[in-house]
Structure 1
Amino acid sequence: MSKSFLFATWSGGGAVPPTLSVARALRERGHDVRVLADRSLHDEVAAGGAEPIAWTTAPQGDTSDPAKEVLKDFEARTPLGAFARLRDRIVCGPAADYARDTLAELRARPADVLVADFSLLGTLTAGEAAGIPVASLGTTVYPLPSPGAPPFGPGFAPAIGMLGRLRDRILTGLMIKPWVKGLPALNAARAANGLSPVDSVIDAFGRVDRFLVLSPRALDYPGRRFPAYVRHVGPRLDDPAWAGELELPEGDAPLVLVSLSSTFMKQRMVLKRIAEALGTLPVRGLLTTGPAVDPATVRAPGNVLVTGSAPHSAALRHAAVTITHAGHGTVVKSLAAGVPLVCVPLGRDQGEVARRVELAGAGITMSKGASPRAIAQAVDRVLHDPSYQREAQRLATEIAAETATDRAVAELEALAERTTGRDEGTPGHDTAERSGLNSVG
């Protein structure tokens, strides 16, 4: 029986393709799917068969043009400054606007389930106020505090012993503290919609029926425990609609795929150093700049083909190594293909993703300021040490098993089948479920 799903997303770069992949899968199963999104995403939404709906009061951005970005976190001088922009410009600051637009759409055309990027707390607030099942989508490794994992952000290894656990308790408190400045705006949005205040922004992320983690469980820490409403449903491996056709550099030398952020993160000089590094190695390079960087501005040696985009899933069938900023999408596609990585984190969640790649033995991490020589040495090491290939292939096997069925679609269809709204005692608002932990996720 066909159901109605209202999705909500924003111009968040790599978070968009996996969200729209889920929307497309539901549409292909005959459901009615609408997507509240920035106008810059409407062509991509429509390409997947869903109906695009524009935000009217919430922020509008376009990551293909740095001047039109909402976050502009590349202007921040510190990681805390970059975080503050996310808090104040997406998560908390415009929460009332996101809630207003979402409720207006739900009143005009009700939906059976609301599905939103987990960072859109205003949209999640609207779903809670409307009394319909709500699912949030996490398009990276689970980013919220839970036992068995260090605080998210610094890229620490898991704690060992009493001192390590003490480190985690102290640093988790410090990492949560900057959210306090976003609490007044969030609670104002909740009050405007007849909802009680929350004690912390972190609590608000848990006021959902399901938190679907679009990431391999095998990429996270083995002993980590998760709240009962969290489900690991596997990564989305589709390429974005704008990926284009595959063109490979000439020759039969090992192929190195290069992909930094699809948004602007001041990556042009890093791309140039990577291209220079590959010029010193007996390899072929396929360097994709993404929409935010003009490929004509990246000078490269003859063995490196520079292009704006390419379907990574197809390119990875030929690749021996991926060099990436450790964006979650590129990492999981590489691992799903059994391709080891050289990670060059630029910011955001990338240090965390890179740390997990390293701990899994499937790649190594370099500083974004690494010299061409150091980058070349890292690529050579990954190419010729078989352990990286072996561990990448191990993760590929686990990802294949995890994605053999579409768990995200199954979870969302199960939510849509609820006939009395929140008939399980208001999950997401139920203290017992919210605080309960399991070890499976």
Structure 2
Amino acid sequence: MDDGESPRTTAGSEGSPTPRTYLFTLTDAGGTVPPELGVVRRLVERGHRVTVVADESIADQVRRSGAAHLPATPNPAPELRDWELKSPLSVARATSEYLMTGPAPGQAADTIAAIDAIRPDLVVASSLALGAMIGAEACGVPFDILIPNAYPLPAKGMPPFGAGMSPARGPLGRTRDRLARAASTGLIDRYALAKTNALRAEHGLEPFAHTWDQLGRARRQLVLTSSAFDFPAELPANARYVGPILDDPVWAADETWTPPPGDGRLVVVAMSSTFQDHVDCMQRITDAVGSLPVHGLVTTGPAVEPGAIRAPANVAVVASAPHRLVLPRADLVVTHGGHGTVIKTLAAGVPLVVLHHGRDQADNAVRVTARGAGIAVRRTAPASRIAMAITDVLGDPSYRQSAQRLGEAITRDAESGALVEELERV
């Protein structure tokens, strides 16, 4: 079926797709799990047969999505402790070992075995699951990749990933980006290219010039965010913005929440779902909220026990609360800048204060500040500086107005159906 055709429909069932078989190979990378399983859930709800190869750590979440689960080969690479990494070299090496080349042989074997067992129409992989892509390619099965954040790969016009930079302006800016793209590609190639090509050779595939070429082989690069949130750039022909997944994670979706009494403004603190050595930062944020005439709600997530945070009288500290209930009542969200929290906050029309820690969080922060929807503060800032930022955002209605404008576009993209349409067009 070519790109111009619509998905097939079952006779006598207007708009219902012919059931297809999908194989997902997903990695447990913390905040990427809820949106990726949101994709799975949408296909299951459309009546498709979905099997997910995934780590045992998320097996229960997979089953709750309605899909069948197949256990993934355990990752032999050392645990990724990215908060300890202090240089681009160390980040590139650890990222390669833990997320890319370390699990790749197991992913390839798991994917090939699952393809033999269920004969999928399409393989869908996490964006760095190189082994799943190689396995699908070796079997001649098309594959898509899921990118649950702003577009991270080298692309003309896109600032370099992880640097928290605004788009380039003028010849010097374009030179900056060109050099940065070459440098970041070279760093990843230094640690991942030889191993990637060795695995490709093992499965009868030709070598690549660059590691990122493997992602270029995807039928679709499905970017799970809004183009209104991301910066404009010249993306490859197979890349598609298909809107964000706004679902709550399984560990928070079933919680109940009661708003605090009174008419005070509500400040929500939502930090990383995985450990980023952020307890001290969370405490300073809590102290800042406690010093202001507001209500505070701090959600620690599964990585931190609520008891690790000392709570002032006007602040409640809980393990989790469903964003779908909390965010519409919030006046401000303070966060580490993870894509899931940022995009859901904006979809609710709520401004942010971002204390970015690492990964893609500086990139998300600059997209917020560039649109006037919030303020970025250093993660090491004292409570007084954080309180000042909260006061500034609450005191200036333009931040909320900008968040609402951006949120309207994000919500439209989330509800557009483009994601399922692309997946069913196979």
TM bracket (short chain):
over 0.9
Provide the rounded CA distance (Å) in 1 between the counterparts of 2:148 and 2:71.
Answer: 22
Q: Is the 8 A contact 2:222 2:241 kept in 1?
A: yes
1:198 maps to a residue whose letter is F
Q: Is the 8 A contact 1:251 1:284 kept in 2?
A: no
- Describe the superposition over 1:388-425 as per-residue Cα deviations: whole angstroms up to 9, x where unpaired: 1111011111112212332111110112xxxxxxxxxx
- Describe the superposition over 1:120-154 as per-residue Cα deviations: whole angstroms up to 9, x where unpaired: 11111111111112110000000011111221121
2:366 maps to a residue whose letter is R
Provide the rounded CA distance (Å) in 1 between the counterparts of 2:236 and 2:86.
Answer: 34
Q: Is the 8 A contact 1:249 1:304 kept in 2?
A: no
Q: Is the 8 A contact 1:263 1:292 kept in 2?
A: yes
- Describe the superposition over 1:339-395 as per-residue Cα deviations: whole angstroms up to 9, x where unpaired: 011011111110111111111111110100011000001011111111111110111
Provide the rounded CA distance (Å) in 2 between the counterparts of 1:104 and 1:240.
Answer: 29
Provide the rounded CA distance (Å) in 2 between the counterparts of 1:162 and 1:75.
Answer: 35
Provide the rounded CA distance (Å) in 2 between the counterparts of 1:313 and 1:225.
Answer: 34
Q: Gapped runs of 5+ residues in structure 1? A: 62-68, 416-441
Q: Gapped runs of 5+ residues in structure 2? A: 1-17
Aligned counterpart for 1:59 among listed residues 75, 84, 92? 75
Alignment of 1:124-273 (within 5 A): 124-180=133-189, 181-222=191-232, 224-243=233-252, 244-273=255-284
1:202 maps to a residue whose letter is W
Q: Is the 8 A contact 1:248 1:286 kept in 2?
A: no
Alignment of 1:267-416 (within 5 A): 267-415=278-426
1:38 paired to 2:90: no
Instruction: Compute the displacement of 1:79 (Å).
Output: 4.8
* SS state at 2:70 partner: strand
* SS state at 1:238 partner: coil
Q: Is the 8 A contact 1:95 1:185 kept in 2?
A: no
Q: Is the 8 A contact 1:98 1:120 kept in 2?
A: yes
Instruction: Compute the displacement of 1:101 (Å).
Output: 1.2
2:79 maps to a residue whose letter is V
Provide the rounded CA distance (Å) in 2 between the counterparts of 1:331 and 1:296.
Answer: 25
Instruction: Compute the displacement of 1:294 (Å).
Output: 0.6
Provide the rounded CA distance (Å) in 2 between the counterparts of 1:159 and 1:363.
Answer: 21
1:188 maps to a residue whose letter is A
Provide the rounded CA distance (Å) in 2 between the counterparts of 1:59 and 1:251.
Answer: 50
1:205 maps to a residue whose letter is L
Provide the rounded CA distance (Å) in 1 between the counterparts of 2:330 and 2:113.
Answer: 47
2:35 maps to a residue whose letter is P
1:424 corresponding residue in structure 2: none
2:341 maps to a residue whose letter is T
1:306 maps to a residue whose letter is V
Provide the rounded CA distance (Å) in 2 between the counterparts of 1:252 and 1:51.
Answer: 46
2:342 maps to a residue whose letter is V
1:151 maps to a residue whose letter is P
1:108 corresponding residue in structure 2: 117
- Describe the superposition over 1:18-40 as per-residue Cα deviations: whole angstroms up to 9, x where unpaired: 00001001001111111111101
* SS state at 2:31 partner: helix
- The list of structure 1 runs, each at least 4 consecutive aligned residues, that deviate by more than 4 angstroms after superposition, is none
Please say which of residues 300-309 and 169-178 is displaced more in the overlay: 169-178
Instruction: Compute the displacement of 1:60 (Å).
Output: 7.7
Please say which of residues 237-246 and 400-409 is displaced more in the overlay: 400-409
1:71 corresponding residue in structure 2: 80
Q: Is the 8 A contact 1:7 1:115 kept in 2?
A: yes
Q: Is the 8 A contact 1:234 1:399 kept in 2?
A: yes
TM-score, length-scaled by structure 1 = 0.90
1:427 corresponding residue in structure 2: none
TM-score, length-scaled by structure 2 = 0.93
2:231 maps to a residue whose letter is Y
Provide the rounded CA distance (Å) in 1 between the counterparts of 2:76 and 2:290.
Answer: 40
* SS state at 1:257 partner: strand
